[in-house]
């Protein structure tokens, strides 16, 4: 049993069953003849970004991850629709040109967005410099941002 397969199995399980805790995963996999411990489930959950969601009924259920900043992302999209001019990446960096006076606002939203590939931003009046975790993230951010416009 490969990790990938197990991940896939966990994704399926949370759709079908109310899985309240990690030990439940252990038991459910055991039923399928798969021996695994809670420690591994914990790691799987982390990698899959699963979340333990409190239910109205009072219990808990592991479920698909939320889009951390649903609202922020929407705001960012609206702002970029207005303010975006151009963008380029180099190494760890992404430089965005905005209409005058808007770079700070974009940077502020970026800092609290779900885009955790971003380490930080430095903004002038019409230019934002994003520092990303790695060059790949810089490229990914460019695509993400473009998809919002």
Partner DNA sequence: ATTGAATATTAATTCAAG
Partner DNA sequence: CTTGAATTAATATTCAAT
- Shortest reach from residue 108's CB to DNA, in Å: 26
- Shortest reach from residue 114's CB to DNA, in Å: 18
- Report yes or no: 13 and 36 within 8 Å, Cβ to Cβ: no
Does 40 engage in binding with a copy of itself (CB under 8 A)? no
**Interacting stretch for DNA, rule CB under 7 A, among 19-27, 72-80, 96-104, 119-127?**
19-27
> Pick from a copy of itself, DNA, none: which does 61 bind, CB < 5 to 8 A by kind?
a copy of itself
Q: Which residues contact 15 (CB under 8 A, 6 or more apart)?
A: none
Does 54 engage in binding with DNA (CB under 7 A)? yes
Site string for a copy of itself, 66-105 (x = CB under 8 A): xxxxxxxxx--x----------------------------
Q: How many whole angstroms from its chain centre is CA 50?
A: 11
How far CA 110 is from CA of 56, 76, 77, in Å, comes to 32, 8, 11
Cβ closest to a copy of itself, residue 39 vs residue 122: 122
CA-to-CA distance for 65 and 37, rounded, in angstroms? Answer: 22
CA-to-CA distance for 67 and 47, rounded, in angstroms? Answer: 15
12: left (phi > 0), else alpha (psi -120 to 50), else beta? alpha
Cβ closest to a copy of itself, residue 21 vs residue 61: 61
Q: For strand 127-132 and strand 51-54, is the pairing parallel, antiparallel, or unpaired?
A: unpaired
CA-to-CA distance for 20 and 13, rounded, in angstroms? Answer: 11
Residues forming contacts to a copy of itself in the complex (CB under 8 A) are 4, 7-8, 11, 15-16, 45-57, 61, 63-74, 77, 107-108, 111-117, 119-123, 131, 133-134, 136, 140, 143-144, 146-148
Residues forming contacts to DNA in the complex (CB under 7 A) are 1-3, 6, 21-23, 35-40, 42-43, 45-46, 52, 54, 60
């Amino acid at each position: 049993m490969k990790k990938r397969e197990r991940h896939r199995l966990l994704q399926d399980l949370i759709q079908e069953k109310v899985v309240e805790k990690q030990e439940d995963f252990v038991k459910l996999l055991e039923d399928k003849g798969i021996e695994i411990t809670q420690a591994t489930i914990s790691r799987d959950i982390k990698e899959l970004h699963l979340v333990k969601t409190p239910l109205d009924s009072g219990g808990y259920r592991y479920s698909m991850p939320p889009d951390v900043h649903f609202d922020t992302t929407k705001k960012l999209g609206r702002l970029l629709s207005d303010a975006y001019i151009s963008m380029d990446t180099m190494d760890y960096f992404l430089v965005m040109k905005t209409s005058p006076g808007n770079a700070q606002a974009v940077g502020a939203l970026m800092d609290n967005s779900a885009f955790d590939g971003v380490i930080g931003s430095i903004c002038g009046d019409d230019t934002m410099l994003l520092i990303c975790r790695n060059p790949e993230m810089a490229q990914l951010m460019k695509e993400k941002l473009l998809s919002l416009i």
